Structure 1
């Protein structure tokens, strides 16, 4: 494959997008990895054949291969979290992570005030918590929708007076105590001095030079429109943002799935089986998300995600080494309806919440035991499984079918 690629998770996240992107960057020349949704709440685990491991949040999962990252205007940028991530990359042998990073000036800035307000809101929900990652990404998006003129963006880091005024407005509007605005301004100015801030022309130039891999965050079953409210993310997790950034240029759409279905935190997981799945050292209980949950492969949910995403060209199937054999082929109460994009957002959220409430009570219907997962998943979803993964490293991946593009 020589064309552009978009990698999207067709589950609730944690299906292995990062390891697929790492493999792609190891196998062929890639000009850049573009992050097109989400922010510091992402957690894409990459393990190199030599044992080095990093959980990618804002840097692209090709970084350990020397591939640059571009944070697009659809990303939410947290310079404080980015600094901690860069420090870990340095510790495992990446000499200058910031030298591999470009950031669109129009990307929203997540601040300590957004983080504080988001955590406070989640704690107030008590037993009805939504499963926030506690990184303030949703709060950043919500504030920008409510106060578009006051929402800080990355480009403001080059304009300290504008940035200070916006940070003060965010702090006051969200009723946060600290840290002092001046301290935040200093941190963000330092950030702007270490990375290359860009506009639309930069990405257009990269796309002309060669292959670009677009790396999605979270999963389609958590999408802000297509997921089951309120257990969703404030992010478009489908191919939509990446296709917008491509501006009409073609790309191969890759949907990533596991051989068993997982979820981090509360919300519907129809096939849940706590005894299922091998231990996962990189997926554990999170203080904000809650438990890492496992269930049998849910063909109904993943088929819904595929439809909501507008289809894909090829599937990447991970965890083929897991000792699992059951596939859910139906629900006792029938499949969830596909969201009609023509209805209003408010009506859409109400509809998705109603479907989600039903799924919390739903029971799975299982088919025959699976002994050939690529064939079973391809048959259930109607898309070829072109990439198979039997472990966390690039050496554990195999091409199973001719890849398009």
Structure 2
């Protein structure tokens, strides 16, 4: 296998930039589907072999990567990879947090959309932590207690499960435990009792009910060991699909408005290295032509007028997350994301069709913070993320340029400010395999 045949897809913003759209397109390369007339994408990567698998390497059931097919089917991919409509199998690595109940529900939705036997397209690493109803209930209680200081949790228990696995590594329920009733029951009871003692009644299902559902999950889904990734990566090209965005990273994002997940390329690189293929993947950073985020936290370029001018077909206000917010392209924040994740080989820019209909849309290249012009955010300031967040909450947009209504001008502008080539362009919400852009 030639070097850099695999591809890692990461969002260089706050999520929702179009990862599902990009992964779907990559999974159709070499199949003919991506080349149908009316396609709304420009691919500068060249032809390659068909993708053998999508590997998820962070996040869990809170993910929502939207894909719309040429015939109008729409699905927000959570735990299944965004290549599923293209028939590409999904591997949930040990860095994902697995919710068996949510997986079953997602499989039912995909089957209703015409995907035959979705669970047969799925393999799951036995070492992956489980997300349970006890985690979800505890996470909602904690978020409720924060009041006005809430972080914007999705309420699915993913962050709670990650925190529990870190605090109690030997007791955290794992996917492999679903095959051992006694071990699973012990861990679930311990989890429920610890969280109840800390937070009070959780209002979650009985342990026995969870154990039965998880045993059925282990019966119908193929659970695999650490050798599986090595086999996949030897068979042919693989797409690694990231979740959330670099600006939400647990260590490098703007704390406390972050996710309990490593959202950079790091986990994908670890999977590659463990399989004996270090640095064998192309690194693609995904961006919209405008910057968005769900819920509270810094969004320096936010402009309420843009929300009306750029309606969102597949992302709305979240009951737990909060409002869906829209701002001008934030070159400062995206340059920070590119730097802290170690750089990219190329950029995928989505929503390029929107620039023609929104002449007020611009690119912000500097902030004004406490009367000072800031063009670059500090990288590597140990322990300084909370302080950085405080500064960003006081920041206002500084220098702004408008590349104009021509998408080609935007491509050039993004390449200039981020010092990286645009290798994928996405336009519109229709047109064959290039249909969906929101993720």
Partner residue, 1:289: 321
1:236 and 2:271 correspond: no
Are residues 1:104 and 2:136 paired? no
User: Is the alpha carbon distance of 1:25 and 1:178 closer, same or farther for their aligned partners in structure 2, counting shifts above 3 Å?
Assistant: same
1:118 paired to 2:139: yes
CA distance in 2, matches of 1:183, 1:130: 31
- Bigger drift between 170-179 and 83-92 goes to 170-179
Q: Distance in 1 between matches of 2:376 and 2:205?
A: 45
Are the equivalent residues in 2 in contact too, given 1:315–1:383 (CA < 8 A)?
A: yes
Q: 1:394: how far off? A: 6.7
Matched, 1:363 2:396: yes
The one of 332, 344, 348 aligned to 1:300: 332
Q: Which has the higher contact order (CA 8 A, sep 6+)?
A: 2
| 2:422 maps to 1:385 | yes
Quote the offset at 1:396 in angstroms.
7.1
Structure 2 partner of 1:402: none
Other-structure match for 2:106:
85
Give the SS at the match of 1:213.
strand
Number of aligned positions between the proteins: 391
User: Aligned equivalents of 2:401 and 2:171: distance in 1?
Assistant: 56
Structure 2: unaligned runs, 5 residues or longer: 31-49, 197-201
SS of the residue 1:266 aligns to: coil
Q: For the residues of structure 1 that align with 2:63 and 2:386, how far apart are their CA atoms?
A: 24
Q: What residue in structure 1 maps to residue 287 of structure 2?
A: 257
Structure 2 residue 17 is matched with structure 1 residue 15? yes
3-state SS in 1 of match to 2:54: strand
| Counterpart secondary structure, 2:247 | helix
1:120-179 C-alpha deviation (Å, 9 max, x unpaired): 000001111100011100000111111111100000000110000000001001113431
- Cα RMSD of the aligned pairs, angstroms, is 1.5
| 1:91 Cα deviation from its structure 2 partner | 0.5
Residue 155 (structure 2) pairs with residue 134 (structure 1): yes
Q: Quote the residue 1:403 is aligned against.
A: none
Q: Structure 1 residues 36-45 or 323-332, which shifts more? A: 323-332
On the 8 A contact 1:225/1:236 being kept in 2, the answer is yes
1:197-208 map, 5 Å: 197-208=223-234
Q: Is residue 26–residue 394 contact of structure 1 (8 Å, CA) maintained in 2?
A: no
What is the Cα deviation at residue 368 of structure 1?
2.7
2:366 aligned with 1:326: no
What residue in structure 1 maps to residue 296 of structure 2? 266
Judge which range, 273-282 or 145-154, deviates more: 273-282
For the 8 Å contact 2:52–2:232, the answer to whether it is kept is: yes
Residue 157 of structure 1 contacts residue 185 of structure 1 at CA under 8 Å; is this kept in 2? yes
* Contact kept in structure 2, 1:23 and 1:394, CA below 8 Å: no
Q: Is the Cα–Cα contact under 8 Å of residues 10 and 257 in structure 1 kept in the other structure?
A: yes
TM-score (norm 1): 0.94
What SS is found at the alignment partner of 1:225? Answer: coil
Q: State the 1:393 CA deviation.
A: 5.0
Give the secondary structure class of the aligned counterpart of 1:157. helix
How far is the alpha carbon of 1:64 from its aligned partner?
Answer: 0.5
Give the secondary-structure state (helix, strand or coil) at the position aligned to 2:293: strand
Moved more, 251-260 or 278-287: 278-287
Aligned residue number for residue 45 of structure 2: none
**What is aligned with 2:312?**
280
Please report how far the alpha carbon of residue 280 of structure 1 lies from its aligned counterpart in structure 2 after TM superposition.
1.1
- Equivalent residue in structure 2 for 1:221, among 247, 253, 273: 247
Contact 1:314 1:385 in 2 (8 A): yes
Separation of aligned partners in 1, 2:221 and 2:433: 34
Question: Which 5+ residue runs of structure 1 have no aligned equivalent?
Answer: 399-405
1:308-353 Cα deviation digits (max 9, x unpaired): 1100000000000113431101011224643428x4xxxx2xx111
**Preserved CA contact (<8 Å) 1:22 1:394:** no
Once the two structures are superposed, what CA deviation does each residue of 1:182-216 show, in whole Å capped at 9, x if it has no partner?
10000000001111100111110010000000000
Residue in 2 that maps onto 1:191: 217
2:184 equivalent among 163, 167, 190: 163
**SS of 2:380 mapped into structure 1:** coil
**CA–CA distance in structure 1, aligned partners of residues 244 and 321 of structure 2:** 13
- For residues 217 and 191 of structure 2, the distance between their equivalents in structure 1, rounded to whole angstroms, comes to 20
In structure 2, what is the Cα distance between the partners aligned to 1:214 and 1:33? 6
CA distance in 1, matches of 2:76, 2:185: 31
Find runs of 4+ consecutive structure 1 residues off by over 6 angstroms: none
Compute the displacement of 1:239 (Å): 0.3
